Structure 1
Amino acid sequence: MCNDRAVLGPWVNGPRTNAFTTVVVGVLVTLAVILTASVLFPDLSATAIEGIMAGCGVAGVLAAGYSFTGRRTATKEDLVDRTGRDDWRMPPLETLTRPVVSTGYKIGMGALRGYLLIAMVLVVVKIVQTALGH
């Protein structure tokens, strides 16, 4: 939604904001994976944590490569027009067209849902282990 010009008009994110946000989210997801793994497996070694970081880094580079393939290069027309920001209002919802969900968005949401599912299963396993005294 942050990139939908019909919804946000001159308040839409620019490419630098999107790149920064993507890096921040990637780092946060990596840290969440490491935290989950270290809580569930207290004997996790530094080498294993480095492996997790490397795996997340490779996944991030592959995702970035995928997102940049097939895109045209930026032109002057691609720049965000910021004129009229103070007076701009979003059009009524009923006049907006249904958003198109990209393949990259579907892949990203699928990856996040997969992570949440795995984390949930591992937490349940840890609760069962704790209850049984293992």
Structure 2
Amino acid sequence: MAINDVALTASMRANLLQLQSTETKIAQKQNILATGNKINSALDGPTAFFAAKGLTQRAGDLTALKDSMGQAISTIKAADKGLTAIESLIEQARGLTTAAYSALGNDAGSIATRKALAAQFNSLKGQIDKLAEDSGYQ
């Protein structure tokens, strides 16, 4: 026998193999705990691995669709707020046109009133245009 040779009995060899097997299983379980995946490669279980991969891709697709739906909802909300504000300004403009219609005389007071109402109307029209431009999303 050489100096570095170690003699093992059959029971010691069996115990050593059992310890090595246990160590391998512990490493696999630690990998599962670290990654959160029950199966990390096709070697661990091909059917479950490819099924999980397909489901993960599908979940990613659904997440992207959900994000797109969120963007669409935000766009609709922005448009709704813009339309509500524009509707309010249109009601004010309608009131100004009614007031201008009631001041249809040719006297100086009626002309001055219509001129002031026209300036207010043009101001409201500018506000409506700005609101229409700002009512977009992103």
The TM-score normalised by the length of structure 2 is 0.27
Structure with the bigger percentage of helix: 2
RCO higher in 1 or 2 (8 Å CA, sep ≥ 6)? Answer: 1
TM-score by length of 1: 0.28
